């Protein structure tokens, strides 16, 4: 078994061991740690991110004795989250606010019904760990678009996740884009630009398909 997957699973089990499975299934692994479960072999960043629904904030604060706050100092990611300090840093994120390339537009990602119904359960050492849908993970990373020059692996994660998951659902990715990435007139050029970077690094059928797929999306008028 991959040692990184085992370490992530053991960390989650240590934090959430007292929760019943229905409650645990509402806490979804995201970020670079989730990318491992979907096949990326990127370096481990020594932090583990989970998403919860906003409606779960009061109960989560009581269970873990934490306080949710807006963190705005990081470039690109400005999140409503709480931090649980263990051997690695655990972020519980209720709202991920992404401001690509320090532009004057931001996109808010949260666990609404369109996301939670497509969560994925993995079994590691007999323990369940739930991940955000791989398509949502790809969308978040497409918006961020950070590469190895910044010591980040968004672009590489995207390529590997799509490459290693034959059931990757582009129709669902489109629904997520249209749902979360408004105004589309601003988000689609950002997504396309970041997909072009992926194609530059990996000029394959997969990267070309991703780029042509994004270019084919027709934005919904903002008045609708």
Q: CB of 52 within 8 A of CB of 64?
A: no
pLDDT tens sequence across 208-219: 999 999 999 998
pLDDT at 101: 78
Burial 66-97 (b: 16+ CB within 10 A, else e): bebeebeeeebbbbbbbebeeeeebbbbbbbb
For position 141, which CATH number holds?
Answer: 3.30.460.40
pLDDT tens sequence across 4-29: 788 788 888 877 877 887 888 899 99
> Along the 224 residues of the chain, how does pLDDT read in single tens digits?
477 788 788 888 877 877 887 888 899 999 999 999 999 998 887 788 999 999 999 999 998 889 999 987 777 778 889 888 666 778 999 999 999 876 788 999 999 999 999 999 998 877 789 999 999 999 999 999 998 877 889 999 999 999 999 999 999 999 999 999 999 999 999 999 999 999 999 999 999 999 999 999 998 877 55
pTM of the complete model? 0.92
The answer as to whether 224 is a domain residue is: no
Q: CB of 177 within 8 A of CB of 210?
A: no
Domain that includes residue 201, residue range: 3-216
- Residue that has been written with the tokens 């394959």 in this structure: 204
pLDDT at 217: 96
Q: CB of 52 within 8 A of CB of 16?
A: no
The answer as to whether 11 is a domain residue is: yes
Angle between helices 184-201 and 154-164 (to 10 degrees): 80
pLDDT at 198: 97
The answer as to whether 20 is a domain residue is: yes
The answer as to whether 222 is a domain residue is: no
The answer as to whether 212 is a domain residue is: yes
The answer as to whether 57 is a domain residue is: yes
- Phi and psi at 122, nearest 5°, equal -115, 145
The answer as to whether 38 is a domain residue is: yes
The answer as to whether 104 is a domain residue is: yes
pLDDT at 1: 47
What total number of domains does the chain contain?
Answer: 1
Q: What are the percentages of helix, strand and coil residues in the chain, rounded to 5?
A: 50, 20, 30
């Amino acid at each position: 078994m991959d040692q990184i997957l085992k370490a992530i699973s053991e960390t989650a089990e240590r934090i959430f061991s007292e929760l019943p499975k229905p409650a645990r299934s509402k806490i979804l692994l995201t970020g670079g740690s989730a990318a491992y479960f979907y096949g990326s072999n990127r370096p481990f960043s020594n932090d583990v991110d989970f998403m919860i629904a906003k409606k779960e904030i009061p109960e989560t604060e009581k269970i873990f004795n934490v306080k949710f706050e807006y963190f705005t100092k990081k470039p690109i990611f400005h999140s409503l989250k709480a931090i649980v300090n263990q051997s690695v840093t655990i972020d519980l994120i209720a709202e991920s606010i992404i401001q690509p390339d320090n532009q004057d537009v931001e996109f808010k990602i949260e666990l609404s019904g369109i996301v939670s119904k497509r969560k994925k359960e993995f079994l590691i050492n007999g323990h369940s760990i739930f991940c955000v849908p791989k398509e949502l993970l790809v969308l978040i990373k497409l918006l961020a678009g950070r590469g190895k020059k910044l010591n980040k692996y968004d672009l590489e994660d995207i390529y590997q996740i799509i490459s290693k998951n034959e059931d990757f659902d582009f129709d669902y990715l489109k629904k997520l884009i249209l749902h979360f990435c408004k105004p589309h007139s601003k988000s689609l050029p950002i997504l396309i630009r970041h997909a072009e970077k992926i194609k530059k690094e990996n000029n394959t059928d997969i990267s070309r398909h991703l780029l042509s797929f994004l270019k084919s999306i027709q934005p919904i008028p903002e008045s609708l």
